[in-house]
């Protein structure tokens, strides 16, 4: 993530513009996705600005379970 491009209002403009288009099309719900990494807390605060709420959380990766005998 380039720090010199942050805090210029572009992201807010994009989300608001997208919301307007989605409303015009009759969309009533939006699903946002954030990768669980070192930036997750920042994304959570960003989404909170738009009153978006967590509905699920996934953990990347998988585990192999032992075979049943």
Q: Which residue has the higher pLDDT, 67 or 17?
A: 17
Structure confidence at residue 1 (pLDDT): 64
What pLDDT is recorded for position 21? 94
pLDDT of residue 22: 92
Exposure string (b/e) for 7-43, b if CB count within 10 Å is 16 or more?
eeeeeeeebeeeeeeeeeeeeeeeeeeeeeeeeeeee
List, for residues 13-52, the tens digit of each pLDDT value: 988 899 899 999 999 888 877 777 788 888 888 888 888 8
């Amino acid at each position: 993530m380039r720090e010199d491009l942050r805090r210029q209002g572009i992201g807010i403009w994009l989300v608001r513009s997208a919301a307007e288009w989605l409303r015009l099309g009759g969309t009533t719900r939006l699903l946002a996705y954030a990768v669980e990494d070192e930036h997750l807390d920042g994304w959570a605060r960003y989404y909170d600005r738009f009153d978006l709420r967590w509905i699920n959380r996934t953990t990347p990766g998988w585990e192999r379970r032992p075979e049943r005998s």
